[in-house]
Structure 1
């Protein structure tokens, strides 16, 4: 009789462990899906906003180049001024690139963990 109870308890424990493992696997899959979809949607939004901003910046750059060209009497000089401005911005971004690491690491660690 004690043997039958022990056997029944072990069978129930085995079933409980198997059920727990199956549910844990499902939960893990859902958690991974949630994190991945959050990352994908954030990347898609960033890409969309970035593309729109890039097109707007391109149009504003052409407008500024032609405006400088009208003032200076040469479109070439207008485009040269705008181009040099972007070179200056690129140099500043390169010089301060290390200060950008910390905020990015914090932001992505919030998403990851």
Structure 2
């Protein structure tokens, strides 16, 4: 009799263990999907907003370069000044690129490891 009860307990434990493994696997899939979608949505938003900002910046740059060309009476110098300004911005951004790693890692780790599913980027 004790052997039958022990056998039933082992069978129940085996069923419970398999259920736990299956639910853990589903949780890992769901957590991975959540992290992947946060990344995809962030990249998509960044690309769309970046493209719009880029177009706007391009139009304003042309306007400013043509205005400088009128003031200086030389189109070349107007565009050269605007190009030099953007070159300086790129060099400064390149030199400070390592300072972006920490804040970006903190922001994404908060979203990945958070328990609250209502957070949005």
Indicate whether the TM-score tops 0.5: yes
Structure-2 change in CA distance of 1:99 and 1:27 (3 Å): closer
Q: Note if 1:61 corresponds to 2:61.
A: yes
Runs of 4+ in 1 over 4 A off after TM superposition: none
Bigger helix share: 1
Q: Which residue number corresponds to residue 117 of structure 2?
A: none
What does 1:13-32 correspond to in 2, within 5 Å? 13-32=13-32
| Whole-Å separation in 2 of the counterparts to 1:26 and 1:101 | 31
Query: Once structures 1 and 2 are overlaid, which stretch shifts more, 97-106 or 1-10?
Result: 97-106
Aligned length: 113
Aligned-pair RMSD on alpha carbons? Answer: 1.4
TM-superposed CA distance for 1:10, in Å, is 0.7
| Whole-Å separation in 2 of the counterparts to 1:34 and 1:92 | 35
**Runs of 5+ consecutive residues of structure 1 not aligned to the other structure:** none
| TM-score calculated relative to the size of structure 2 | 0.85
SS at match of 2:41: helix
| TM-score calculated relative to the size of structure 1 | 0.90
Q: Which residue number corresponds to residue 78 of structure 1?
A: 78
Q: Which residue number corresponds to residue 42 of structure 1?
A: 42
**Runs of 5+ consecutive residues of structure 2 not aligned to the other structure:** 114-121
| Whole-Å separation in 2 of the counterparts to 1:97 and 1:29 | 33
| Whole-Å separation in 1 of the counterparts to 2:48 and 2:54 | 10
Structure-2 change in CA distance of 1:101 and 1:38 (3 Å): closer
| Whole-Å separation in 2 of the counterparts to 1:91 and 1:30 | 41
